[in-house]
Amino acid sequence: MTLPLCQVFSLVFGYIWLYVLTPPSEDITQHYTLGVWSICISCIVEMCCEPVYLVSQAFLFVRLKRLASQEQNALFTESRSIVSLVRKKRLASQEQNALFTESRSIVSLVRKKRLASQEQITLFTESRSIVSLVVLDTIQIVVRTFIFTPLIVYQPQSAVLAFSAAQVISACVYVIGYYVYFYVYIKRRNEKIALRKKDDDVPRTGKEEMEDDFPFESLTDFLPARIENQVCQRYPPVNYRLANLTWSFFKQGVLKQVLTEGERYIMTLFSVLTFYEQGMYDVVNNLGSLAARFLFRPIEDAAYFYFSQMVRRDAPIQEQNQKHMSESSNVLCQLLRCITSLGLVILVFGQSYSTLLLFLYGGRGLISGPGPTLMRAHCLSVLLLAVNGVTECYSFATMSTRQLDRYNYMMALLSILFLIVSWGLTTLLGGVGFILANCCNMAARIAHSVQFIKEKYHGTTYQPLKGLVPGSYFLGMLVFTGTLTKISEMYLFDSHKLLHLCIGAVSFALVLLAWGYEERELVRLGVNRLRRRRSSGAKQS
């Protein structure tokens, strides 16, 4: 049912985007209709790949997922950087960015990934005959980039046409790559099984057992078929239990989409921003999310794993191992202090160097409009995002089932409130309103997590939330350097950009020294651990 439903939704939403919502004027683009249908076609094409994609995830045909994802994001960010330098002061480029933002919101519903356990990944890595299918994701991005970039360089007025061609072709390459891979894999597997049947007495290796467990014998097995299930005698065409499970995942996906991409739907459905403003917002949002993507997310993943191992969900702090509780409390405190300090540095220096960053990224075309104001506001969002990531990862790692259910209910209410606040603030403030709405969303989630942590440690001597307040020397230095760099921007940016950058570098060094002075114990611990790691590496070599 997945592919037919995707076709129906694609047609319905394609019609809405073309004939219900307000289309852009022909002065911006003459290929809007083609762009919308290219998104619909690419969604349907990629959905054809969903069966083999899920099989590749279930049977661990993916290695080094996190590293590959970072490489893909970096590659795509670089491609957008190159393109933006070519599209200075072109309205079509902003419209293309807005259309691509809409496409990502739709396509993200189709491509959900799972995490495999470390032991399974290690076992799979030892299998030489299986090539990592994560290469296909990289190939898709490379194909899309190398098709889109030359077209937009030589035909910048046809940005949507270039995007449409790149989107459809890369989707076809992605799907064909998956089916070709599994065709070759199944063919080789069947040949090996036929040879092993002749030698039944020979013991099988772990790799051979894994190949035997693979249940598909041909590509036709991936096609829709009736599931023989006694529970479904009354409803032969559909497995009722699987349908219920799918419906649950669908509702969860919709909630997640509202919380992560809700402002984009408001942006599109209510036309609160022009296409130029939407494109500018997309550029700023992509640049601002780099810190969360490459820095905060790995920290959150590691912290979640650590806290889930140290703190039990179903027992109060007083009844658990006090050594573990003391260590986890100290780790949470230090982690909050580090992440808050980093977020404050981004917030302070972002006020003075957002214009320079956008100038280096896309030239004067990005700094002549609302871009610098959006970037400065986004720096506040980065700070709240950093704090929320750590507090939520601790909450998720230690919440009981009842608390998680209550949190999901609260998130549902928060998503509705978030949409209302987004619409109201954007109507009043434009693109900045979306960022402030995100800040309100993050602040509410931080408040909930902080309250949970306070209740968790109530009646104990542990105070991990002290990490939310950095030291006074560090805060004082931030105020001084923030004032200095702001004055530098006012008087030096237009005529002496390099000098303005040097002042920022010196100011950053002063802030770093102030932080290191107040966090001497943490710095000493890090240096000692680094020395031990180097000495152990030297002994092994």
Note the pLDDT of residue 64: 34
Can you state the angle between helices 134-154 and 159-197, rounded to 10 degrees?
Answer: 160
Give a yes or no: residue 204 inside a domain: yes
pLDDT reported for residue 462:
86
Cβ–Cβ under 8 Å, residues 94 and 275? yes
- Residues 6 or more apart in contact with residue 204 via CB below 8 angstroms: 196, 212
CB atoms within 10 A of CB 179: 15
| Other C-beta atoms lying within 10 Å of the C-beta of residue 396 | 17
CA nearest to 280, candidates 94, 432, 433: 94
Residue 460 DSSP one-character state: S
In a domain, 422, yes or no: no
Instruction: List the domain range (segments joined by +) for residue 63.
Output: 1-224
Q: Which helix (H) or strand (E) holds 264?
A: helix 240-269
* 508 membership: H or E segment, kind and range: helix 497-518
Distance in angstroms (rounded) separating the CA atoms of residues 382 and 289: 8
> What is the C-alpha to C-alpha distance for residues 54 and 114, in angstroms, rounded to an integer?
9
- Tally of residues, the chain: 541
> Would you say residue 33 lies in a domain?
yes
Residue 83 pLDDT? 36
Rg over CA atoms, the chain: 26
In a domain, 458, yes or no: no
C-alpha span between 192 and 212 (Å, rounded): 10
Reading the chain (541 residues) residue by residue, the pLDDT tens digits are 678 888 898 999 899 888 888 777 776 667 888 889 999 999 999 888 888 887 877 776 654 343 334 444 443 343 333 333 333 333 333 434 444 444 433 333 333 333 333 333 333 333 333 344 567 778 888 888 899 889 888 888 888 888 899 999 999 998 998 888 888 888 888 888 777 776 666 566 655 665 666 777 788 887 776 655 544 455 456 667 777 767 766 776 777 777 777 777 887 777 777 777 888 888 888 888 887 777 888 888 888 888 888 888 777 888 878 888 888 888 899 999 999 999 999 999 999 999 999 898 888 878 888 889 999 999 999 999 999 989 988 888 888 878 877 887 888 888 888 888 888 888 888 888 888 988 998 999 899 999 989 988 888 888 888 888 888 999 999 999 999 999 999 999 888 899 999 999 999 999 999 999 888 888 887 788 778 877 776 666 5
**Cα–chain center distance at 370:** 25
373 falls within a domain: no
Annotate 469-480 with b (16+ C-beta within 10 A) or e (fewer). ebeeebbebbee
The reply to whether 429 falls in a domain is no
Whether 116 and 62 have beta carbons less than 8 Å apart is answered as yes
Structural domain contains residue 73: yes
Q: Does the residue 35 lie in any domain?
A: yes
Handedness of CA 27, 33, 34, 36 (dihedral sign): positive
Using DSSP, state whether 461 is helix, strand or coil: coil
Q: How many domains does the chain have?
A: 1
Say if residues 382 and 346 touch (Cβ distance below 8 Å). Answer: yes
Cα–Cα separations (whole angstroms), residue 126 to 59, 131, 183, 207 = 14, 11, 22, 8
Element (H, E) at 113: none
